[in-house]
Structure formats: structure tokens, C-alpha cells
């Protein structure tokens, strides 16, 4: 009789194989200068489209849900491919120590100083737009203690690889399942960095995002209201030229005394929406952002469009003229 398969042994083997593939890929992408690395990322995009089949399906569905008939299937596929390439580039920006130039630092620094002057600490809110890794590096360069909440990898070997590559950032990394560390950072009135565009299957707050109700992370609004900490939405976009970036900073969001967590979450989302609309090719459409529904159900990438249309709280977005020109160039 054959011996039963050990699930934990298979999992360790799968983690080991995944780590070997990832480590080799990282070494390949780290060779040469940044321009050459970006060219490799471009060549890698078609392969990743096949490997990340679930994410690719979600990207095309997300774009159909957000833009409706405004983008035809060909345009959606092209925009999804741009999202894949931008995701690779953002991780590259984190893995490599290349020099970079950032515009808009003065306005962003002013927003941070204005928030800290209130004496309650500061929550910097971000979304997966542009190069979020360069944004984190910039925040760490300001001379203030910065704590970044992140979602750890399921593979512990991959987790070690990612965190070793990020060790030079100069920030304090806090796993999202370490609430005591988050509370300590808030109590010390330091800077906390949170991503706000992640699908939250459990304990999420239902708020509109790009015209569709989404279950949003509760942390940013609830932390801000509990400790009366101001929030500052910031993104780091790619600018013209390799290694050139541009910071965009929204007005400081100060929690109101009678404000609900859903109302504050809605204000956070509204701060980012114009930037995503204007630079859709730099947004991470691969994430299943609207999968979890406020009624407890789960959407699939192949959920019928008619059902999706009924859930909208605003008309589909109209693609920006710049985006259409980019997609058809």
C-alpha cells in the first residue's frame, strides 16, 4: 500500500521551488542598469500574463466593471498588460539601489510637516499606483521614524527574500497581523504608512471606490478616529525618463468629531480617484479589488456584467483622452 502524501512536505517543496524561481528572476532583473532592467520587465510581461492567469482575468474584469463600454476588449487587454509591466517595475524599483529623481517633494514634505505639527502623529495613505516602492524609500529619507504596515508573503522563503531586498529602505516593517506594534507606533505619534486599496474580505468598511461599493481596510479610518491622527494621501507616479518620478499630495484629511469610519474611508478613496483616472496605465488592476461584496457574497472574475451594473453607485468612468491616445498609439 502506497504511503500517504504528506501535505506539509509538499507545501515545503512548493515553497522551495517558488523561491528558487523567484531568486533566479531577481538576479536576472538586477543585472545591468535600470533602463536595461525595465527592458527585461517589458519582455517578461507576456510570460507573466500566462503565469498569473487569475490576476490577468481579474484585471480585465476590473477594467470592464470600472469603464463599462468605454473600453473595448482590445483596449482592456492592452491596459491590463501595462498594469502587469508597471507592477514588475515597481518591485524592481524596490529591489535595486539605482539613483532616482523625484519631483514634487516640496509639496509632499510640506504636507507631512503640517500633519506632524498637530502633535498626533501622521498616517500616510497610499494606493498601488505608480511606483509605490520608490514612494516608501522617499518617505524614509525625511528623517522621521516611519512604520510601514504590509501583507507578508505566504511563502516564508519568499518573505525572507523580499524583506532582505527591502532592508535598505530605512523604515520599520510591521506585518498587518501585529496589531500591538501598530498601536505602539500610534502612541509614539510617529508616521504610519498604510495601503488603502486592498480588498478586505473580513471586517472591511463598505465605501465607494471608482463608482463601485468596495470593502475597504478599516485600519486607516479607525486608527485616525481613535487617536485623532491626520491622514495624508500621497502617490509616487512615474514621470518622463527612466528613474524619474513625481509625488502627488492631496490635502490633509483631519478626522471630524462626529465623522463615521465609513465617511472618512469615503474621503480617503475620493482623494485617490482622480489620480487613478488620470494615470490608469500605472494602476494595479490585477488585484481582485471588488471581489468581496458588502452583502457577504463574493464576485468572480466571470460574474455577469448585468449583475455588476446593478451594484454600481455611479456611472462607469469615461476614459481620459490621454489614456485612449496611449492605448491606441
pLDDT digit string, tens, across residues 150-184: 887 777 787 787 777 787 888 999 988 898 999 99
d(C-alpha 188, C-alpha 205), whole Å:
26
For residue 29, pLDDT over 60 is answered with yes
Question: Average pLDDT in the 192-204 region?
Answer: 94
Output the CA torsion 30→32→35→36 (10° steps). -90
Closest C-alpha among 115, 113, 117, 179 to residue 147 = 179
CB 299 within 8 A of CB 69: no
6 vs 108, more confident: 108
Does residue 296 lie in a domain region?
yes
Residue 308 domain-assigned (yes or no): yes
Residue range 189-202: mean pLDDT, rounded: 95
Question: 70 vs 118, 209, 315, 318, CA distance in Å?
Answer: 44, 18, 11, 6
Is residue 8, in this structure, part of any structural domain at all?
Answer: no
pLDDT of 152? 74
Range of the domain at 106: 14-329
With a cut of 70, say whether residue 104 has pLDDT above it.
Answer: yes
Q: What is the mean pLDDT of residues 32-46?
A: 93
Q: Which residues contact 221 (CB under 8 A, 6 or more apart)?
A: 205, 255, 261, 262, 264, 265, 268
Between 181 and 14, whose confidence is greater?
181
Q: pLDDT value at position 282?
A: 98
Helix-helix angle 219-227:261-278, to 10 degrees: 130
Q: Determine phi and psi for 194, rounding to 5 degrees.
A: -130, 140
Cα–Cα distance, 308 to 30 (Å, whole number): 41
* Segment 264-315, tens digit of pLDDT: 999 999 999 999 999 999 999 999 999 999 999 999 999 887 788 888 999 9
pLDDT the model gives residue 6: 58
Kindly report the pTM of this predicted structure.
0.92
Tell me whether residue 4 is in a domain.
Answer: no
> Number of folded domains in the chain?
1
Over range 121-127, report the average pLDDT.
Answer: 98
For range 231-257, the mean pLDDT? 97
Q: Is 238 helix (H, G, I), strand (E, B) or coil?
A: strand
DSSP 168: G
Rounded distance, CA 276 to CA 269, Å?
10
pLDDT at 111 over 60: yes
pLDDT score for 7: 59
The three-point CA angle 281-285-287 to 5° equals 155
Please tell me the predicted confidence (pLDDT) of residue 166.
80
Question: Of all residues in the chain, what percent carry a pLDDT higher than 70?
Answer: 98
Average pLDDT value over all residues in the chain:
92
Q: Is position 2 within any domain?
A: no
Tell me, yes or no, whether 7 lies in a domain: no
pLDDT at 1: 47
Amino acid at each position: 500500500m502506497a504511503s500517504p502524501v504528506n501535505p506539509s512536505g509538499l507545501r515545503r517543496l512548493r515553497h522551495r521551488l517558488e523561491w528558487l524561481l523567484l531568486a533566479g528572476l531577481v538576479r536576472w532583473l538586477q543585472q545591468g542598469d535600470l533602463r536595461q532592467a525595465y527592458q527585461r520587465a517589458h519582455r517578461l510581461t507576456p510570460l507573466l500574463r500566462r503565469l498569473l492567469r487569475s490576476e490577468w482575468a481579474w484585471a480585465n474584469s476590473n477594467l470592464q466593471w470600472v469603464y463599462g463600454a468605454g473600453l473595448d476588449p482590445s483596449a482592456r487587454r492592452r491596459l491590463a498588460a501595462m498594469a502587469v509591466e508597471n507592477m514588475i517595475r515597481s518591485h524592481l524599483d524596490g529591489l535595486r539601489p539605482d539613483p532616482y529623481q523625484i519631483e514634487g517633494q516640496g509639496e509632499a514634505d510640506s504636507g507631512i510637516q503640517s500633519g506632524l505639527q498637530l502633535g498626533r502623529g501622521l498616517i500616510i495613505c497610499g494606493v498601488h499606483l505608480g511606483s509605490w516602492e520608490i514612494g516608501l524609500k522617499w518617505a524614509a529619507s525625511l528623517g522621521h521614524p516611519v512604520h510601514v504596515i504590509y501583507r507578508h508573503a505566504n511563502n516564508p522563503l519568499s518573505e525572507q527574500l523580499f524583506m532582505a531586498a527591502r532592508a535598505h529602505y530605512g523604515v520599520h516593517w510591521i506585518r498587518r497581523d501585529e496589531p500591538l506594534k501598530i498601536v505602539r507606533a500610534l502612541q509614539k505619534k510617529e508616521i504610519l504608512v498604510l495601503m488603502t486599496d486592498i480588498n478586505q474580505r473580513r471586517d472591511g468598511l463598505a465605501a465607494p471606490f471608482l463608482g463601485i461599493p468596495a470593502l475597504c481596510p478599516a485600519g486607516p479610518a479607525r486608527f485616525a478616529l481613535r487617536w485623532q491622527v491626520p491622514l495624508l494621501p500621497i502617490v509616487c507616479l512615474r514621470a518622463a525618463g527612466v528613474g524619474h518620478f513625481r509625488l502627488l499630495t492631496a490635502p490633509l484629511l483631519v478626522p471630524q468629531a462626529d465623522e463615521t469610519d465609513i465617511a472618512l474611508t469615503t474621503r480617503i478613496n475620493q482623494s485617490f480617484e482622480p489620480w487613478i483616472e488620470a494615470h490608469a496605465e500605472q494602476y494595479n488592476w490585477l488585484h481582485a479589488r471588488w471581489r468581496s461584496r458588502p452583502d457577504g457574497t463574493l464576485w468572480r472574475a466571470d460574474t455577469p456584467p448585468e449583475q455588476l451594473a446593478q451594484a454600481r453607485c455611479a456611472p462607469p468612468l469615461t476614459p481620459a483622452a490621454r489614456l485612449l491616445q496611449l492605448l491606441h498609439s
